[in-house]
Amino acid sequence: MKLQKIYILGIESSCDDTSAAVLCNGKVLSNVVASQKIHEQYGGVVPELASRAHQQNIVPVIDQAIKQAKINKTELSAIAFTQGPGLMGSLLVGTSFAKSLALALEIPLINVHHMQAHILAHFIEEEDFEQPEFPFLAMTISGGHTQIVKVNDHFDMQIIGETIDDAVGEAFDKSAKILGLPYPGGPLIDKYAQLGNPKAFSFPKPKVSELNFSFSGLKTAVLYFIQKKVKEDPNFIKDHLNDICASLQYTIINILIDKLKKASKQTGIKRIAIGGGVSANSGIRKALKEEEHTYGWKTYIPKFEYTTDNAAMIGIVGHLKFMKNQFTDMNVVAKARVKF
């Protein structure tokens, strides 16, 4: 019997990346991402500019994804799109386009939760990549979220800890802004940190109950520290950039690993996955691998291209939902806030 080929088009437009991907039976055939440069100069994402850029990018990005996959759009089995959470104006572009295309091609439509997609990216079919067994713990660390999730099954997830204020990505980006670095500063802090001494400066670790996180205090601590040091020496940032970044990153990683240890102890689960933009960070990747030996963990670290926002992760959720016949209809709307 010939195996049926399921082609899913995934569309992601929740924040400042316009992305489209085509997956065949859970394998990525194409994953095109257009990142919006326009926000760099503003030190953060400007929602109105983001939705305008999505409008400009969406047609060429989808066209390229289909071409790179070497299929015809009429071969698509279904369209999966990010319904939320995210910026409303940005989500609307992907949602409206997905609905129109599904209507035109007369194929099913699948709504996807963005944070669930960051977790389920681990189920993209890849050679030499082991998929986590259930249950496992997933720490989703991005520009908008910081959560520890107990994953019992693909669509049975329970948030057991989350940030009470800023997301960890914001801690990176806002600290980077204080250091005069462009948005998004996370990858730059990572780059400079690799050249610096993580113990050069010490930053306070917040005391937050249970498995929750807080990052707003750290950002304020960085601000006061920099203001004080620059007053004493105007060249302080320039002369100590690597050490500042290394120390800051070291503090953030410690905060994350401490909560993971606690979560693993509480739940007895030793399979640990990470996802979201901050899981691209070289320090957190290294720290997790080191802890594997110390605590008997098995860790799952996504391929670099599936860490920051991408449509391949939306496509894999589409594939998994397709297999369960979980479709939505044309009345579906984008949602800035949406539960699992």
List residues near Zn ion by CB under 5 A.
142, 309
Residue 310 φ/ψ, nearest 5 degrees:
-155, 160
Task: For residue 285, give both structure tokens.
Answer: 């990747």
Cis peptide leading into residue 204 (ω within 30°):
no
Shortest separation between residue 247's beta carbon and Zn ion, angstroms: 26
Q: Residue 49: which residues within 8 A CB-CB, separation 6 or more?
A: 36, 38, 39, 42
Interacting partner of 7 out of ligand KG4, Zn ion, none (Cβ under 5 to 8 A depending on kind): none
Interacting partner of 85 out of Zn ion, ligand KG4, none (Cβ under 5 to 8 A depending on kind): none
Give me the sign of the Cα torsion angle 156, 160, 164, 166.
negative
Shortest separation between residue 177's beta carbon and ligand KG4, angstroms: 11
Give me the sign of the Cα torsion angle 292, 295, 298, 299.
negative
Shortest separation between residue 188's beta carbon and ligand KG4, angstroms: 8
**Separation of alpha carbons 80 and 19, rounded Å:** 12
Interacting partner of 166 out of ligand KG4, Zn ion, none (Cβ under 5 to 8 A depending on kind): none
Judged by beta carbon, residue 87 or residue 107, the one nearer Zn ion is: 87
Judged by beta carbon, residue 243 or residue 309, the one nearer Zn ion is: 309
**How many distinct helices (H) and strands (E) make up the chain?**
9, 10
Shortest separation between residue 286's beta carbon and ligand KG4, angstroms: 12
Q: Other CB atoms closer than 10 Å to residue 94's CB: what's the count?
A: 28
Residue with the shortest CB distance to ligand KG4: 277
Judged by beta carbon, residue 169 or residue 318, the one nearer ligand KG4 is: 169
Shortest separation between residue 62's beta carbon and ligand KG4, angstroms: 19
Judged by beta carbon, residue 77 or residue 249, the one nearer ligand KG4 is: 249
Judged by beta carbon, residue 173 or residue 243, the one nearer Zn ion is: 173
Bridge partners for 114 per DSSP: none
Which amino acid appears at position 319 of this protein?
Answer: H
List residues near ligand KG4 by CB under 6 A.
15, 142-144, 169, 172-173, 184, 186-187, 190, 276-278, 280-281, 308-309
Judged by beta carbon, residue 24 or residue 256, the one nearer ligand KG4 is: 256
Largest Cα span, the chain: 75
